[in-house]
Structure 1
Amino acid sequence: MMKAANDTAIHRRLIDGLYTEAMLLADEARSYFDEAGRAEREALDPLVRVGFSCESLKVTTRLMHVIAWLMTQRAADVGELDRSDLLHPSRRLGHAPVFDADLVSALPATARAMIAASADLHRRVARLDEAQQGLATPSPARSLQSRIAAAF
């Protein structure tokens, strides 16, 4: 029982940390794409400018999927949702839109950083979602640990 309580506390801290990171990144992205990045966007070639706008929407989509997933986890942690509800497909993390690497390389440095940060955050949360669903590939270190434990 103690291990389960400890696991729950660790899970809650992990989710809270990711939630804080996601909210800060969402605020930074909104500020940049709505305000500070406007002058940078206007200085771009018209076709790249359209790409800039598309990529800003992709950043927002990635972040909103992450935030929704984290809020669902928090709801389960406080008992508003049953843990079994987290296994339903509607509670899964939404797919991350893929970015065009060639286009991204033509964007200003801050836009590239926002795109990379949102993709990285989504990737990390996707690993948690997959693990929760039992879909994650086993860790090589854990596999080795299991083999050593079985040998002794």
Structure 2
Amino acid sequence: MTTPVDINRSIVEGLYAEALVLADEVRLSFALADQLDLKQEDEDLARIALSCEALRTSTRMMHVIAWLLNQRAYFHNEISEFQLRRCGRLPVEASRSDPEQLVMLPLVLRDLIAATERFYARVQRFDRAWHSRFTMSPCAIHRLRDRLGRELHCA
């Protein structure tokens, strides 16, 4: 079994390139979606669903790109680790797509939206792992001292 790789410059650069391609695909797909002929019972509701999902998807991608830009700035020594920890977090809850609205959209858009959600989840795992390095946990000496203290009080 391999050990997990910590985030590094090459991972960030790869994710950044992937994010730019995906964001461009989102922009193009939703721009062209305005030309779709939405043949449904309520075309107005379908257009509202299209607008809402376009906004959610674009926002999701912009959050990821902003996070990656902060990471890139850190690796290029443009911001400190403290600044990155303070300002370089992804939102805890990304706006999830509304299943009722998704069914009104063409399959190609639903697949694209799902791809952005998977990409966001991947980046969010890196964010959580990186920030978990800074959680305070007692060192081995303190844990041993606490355990010995509990054992002596029980005896």
Tell me the TM-score normalised to structure 1 length.
0.75
Q: How do 1:67-86 and structure 2 match up within 5 A? A: 67-86=65-84
Structure 2 unaligned spans of 5+: 134-155
2:29 alignment counterpart: 32
In 1: Cα distance, 2:63 partner to 2:44 partner: 29
Structure whose residues are more often helix by fraction: 1
Counterpart contact for 2:30–2:54, Cα < 8 Å: yes
Q: How do 1:34-113 and structure 2 match up within 5 A? A: 34=31, 36-40=32-36, 42-44=38-40, 45-88=43-86, 90-94=87-91, 95-113=93-111
In 1: Cα distance, 2:47 partner to 2:37 partner: 6
In 2: Cα distance, 1:17 partner to 1:55 partner: 26
**TM superposition shift of 1:84:** 2.5
In 1: Cα distance, 2:97 partner to 2:62 partner: 16
In 1: Cα distance, 2:39 partner to 2:54 partner: 16
Q: 1:17 aligns with which of 4, 11, 14?
A: 14
In 2: Cα distance, 1:72 partner to 1:82 partner: 10
In 1: Cα distance, 2:103 partner to 2:14 partner: 30
Counterpart contact for 1:40–1:108, Cα < 8 Å: no
In 2: Cα distance, 1:77 partner to 1:109 partner: 38
Aligned partner of residue 34 in structure 2, secondary structure:
helix
Identity fraction in percent? 38
In 1: Cα distance, 2:39 partner to 2:69 partner: 38
Amino acid at match of 2:34: R
> Greater CA radius of gyration, 1 or 2?
2
Cα pair distance change 1:86/1:54, threshold 3 Å: same
Counterpart contact for 1:41–1:52, Cα < 8 Å: no
Counterpart contact for 2:73–2:79, Cα < 8 Å: yes
2:153 alignment counterpart: none
**TM superposition shift of 1:106:** 2.4
Counterpart contact for 2:38–2:46, Cα < 8 Å: no
Amino acid at match of 2:26: A
Q: Calculate the aligned-residue CA RMSD, in Å.
A: 1.9
Amino acid at match of 2:94: A
Counterpart contact for 1:29–1:114, Cα < 8 Å: yes
